[in-house]
Amino acid sequence: MDRAKRHVWIQHRGASGWITLAKKEPDGGWRQYHYQPNELAVELPKWLGEDVYFSQNTFYKPQRRIENIRQLRALYVDVDCHTIGYEPEWVVGKLDIEVFYDNILPEPNLIIFSGRGIVCVWLIEPVPYKALPLWKAVENYFYEQLSYVGADKKSLDPTRVFRIDGSVNSKSKREVVVEYRHGDRYVLRDLQYEYLPELTRAETGKKGRKGKLVRLHNIQTLHYARLLDLIRLAELRNYDLKGYRELFCFLYRYWSCCLTDDPDEALRQMIELNAGFKEPLSEKEVIRATKSAEKAWMARNDAKANEEARKKGYPGAGYNLKNSTIIRWLDITPEEQRHLQTIIDANEKRRRKRERDRARTGELRRGQGAKTREEYLEEQRERTEDKARQLQKAMERHPDATNKQLAMMLQISVRRVQQLKRLVKN
């Protein structure tokens, strides 16, 4: 119990959001619950035993789905040593000499000996969900450096759970043990600057053909923005999506596959999304209706399929959907587009540009000493009240004066005298 508490505490000290505890049942089922950080110490004793896991990142809602990420708190690579026939301790020694000592990758904060393999975990200063595309770029890079010792590409998604210290792996009957190496958290941007120079150069705006890493980063940024827009659209419609349920689930499953590189995890999250609809499809029906999404994702990762797609004039294999197509499929209204980040048409783009231009013009005028509208109106109100007081005094001194005479005294127009008299009377 002390080891389990220490493991969770080190990774989630000061965390914000929901943390998932999960357990694989003897019958193959999967049980998971979500807790706030201050609840974990009380709840952990109920979970210890075989095949117990916890999430590496936290969530806005008690749902372990990619769109609910609240804080990204760790990078990790799961190395399946048993697939290459080496003992975990031997692989760790190999990585120490060939990877960490030469700073090909920084030294991990901790290494989880999971019973049949290892998980290298790098703790990072927490970053919000908007940093997910950058997090994914760094995560993929770390995976590539460890792929030669059996790193698992399907364990790179931000919703991943890993075994907890002191639990038992039911397959190997080995106890899970965590080796702690240091407690200094890394800064995600620093890792980018030091290990992903190609991506850093692209951010500086240098011209030239963009490399594979930059193109992949841009595509994943778009996929994540679209997935968040899809969820926002469902919220705007109160999850009453009859007539669009298959399309919503299809798009979610496809973009989730592209972001997680794990079709099984993408399927699980899509099934959970469908269950939240006011009138969900049956699980069997929704899996069958969206199967082509997984096939398209597999084609995106196939060199031959990509080559054939480019010969036909496409950017690559898979679904290269235009915004206009998504808007037409889902009948997204102009009002709904105002709440979306990236699934918008040309009219909405122009509207946002006009707003940005007006805002920039206003900032420029204020920088040059121009007044805001509120400041201008307040100043005009004060001037009017001042003139009204002057008129009242003039009328008291010259009760028989005509409007024309009063206007000459105050150096204003006759019409203005008439307006001010109404104000004085009120």
Residue 360 has a pLDDT of 82
pLDDT of residue 307: 74
Which tops the pLDDT comparison, 70 or 399?
A: 70
User: Is 60 exceeded by the pLDDT of residue 69?
Assistant: yes
pLDDT tens, position by position, 164-197: 999 999 988 999 999 999 999 999 999 999 998 8
pLDDT for 393: 82
- pLDDT of 210 > 70? The answer is no
Is residue 19 predicted with pLDDT exceeding 90? yes
Q: What is the per-residue pLDDT for 137?
A: 93
pLDDT for res 94: 94
pLDDT at 387 over 60: yes
The residue among 29 and 236 whose pLDDT is bigger is 236
pLDDT digits (tens, 9 = 90+) for 305-317: 767 767 776 666 7
208 pLDDT higher than 60: no
SS3 for the chain is CHHHHHHHHHHHCCCCCEEEEEEECCCCCEEEEEECHHHHHHHHHHCCCECEEEECCEECCCCCCHHHEEEEEEEEEEECHHHCCCCHHHHHHHHHHHHHCCCCCCCCCEEEECCCCEEEEEEEEEEEHHHHHHHHHHHHHHHHHHHHHCECHHHCCCCCEEECCCCEECCCCEECEEEECCCCCECHHHHHHHHCHHHHHHHCCCCCCCCHHHHHHHHHHHHHHHHHHHHHHHHHCCCCCCCCHHHHHHHHHHHHHHHHCCHHHHHHHHHHHHHCCCCCCCHHHHHHHCHHHHHHHHHHCCHHHHHHHHHCCCCCCCCCCCHHHHHHHHCCCHHHHCCCCCCCCHHHHHHHHHHHHHHHHHHHHHHCCCCCHHHHHHHHHHHHHHHHHHHHHHHHHCCCCCHHHHHHHHCCCHHHHHHHHHHHHC
Instruction: Give the global pTM.
Output: 0.78
Share of the chain above pLDDT 90, in %: 61
**pLDDT tens-digit readout, 212-231:** 778 778 888 899 999 999 99
Mean pLDDT for 43-64 is 92
Q: In the prediction, which pLDDT does 81 show? A: 84
Q: What is the pLDDT of residues 246-300, one digit of tens each?
A: 999 999 999 999 898 899 999 999 999 999 999 999 999 999 999 999 998 888 7
Q: What angle do CA 82, 87, 88 make, to 5 degrees?
A: 90
pLDDT in tens, 70-128: 999 999 999 998 777 889 999 999 999 999 999 999 999 999 999 889 999 999 999 99
Question: Tokens standing for 40?
Answer: 């974990």
State the average pLDDT over residues 374-384: 78
User: For residue range 330-370, what is the model confidence (pLDDT) as tens digits?
Assistant: 999 999 999 999 999 999 999 999 988 888 877 777 666 66
Give the pLDDT confidence score for residue 207 in this predicted structure.
60
- pLDDT class of 418 with cuts at 50, 70, 90: confident
pLDDT value, residue 248: 96
Per the model's pLDDT, the better-predicted residue between 315 and 43 turns out to be 43
Chain mean pLDDT for the chain: 89
Place of tokens 């009380």: 42
Q: What is the pLDDT of residue 379?
A: 79
Residue 396: predicted pLDDT: 82
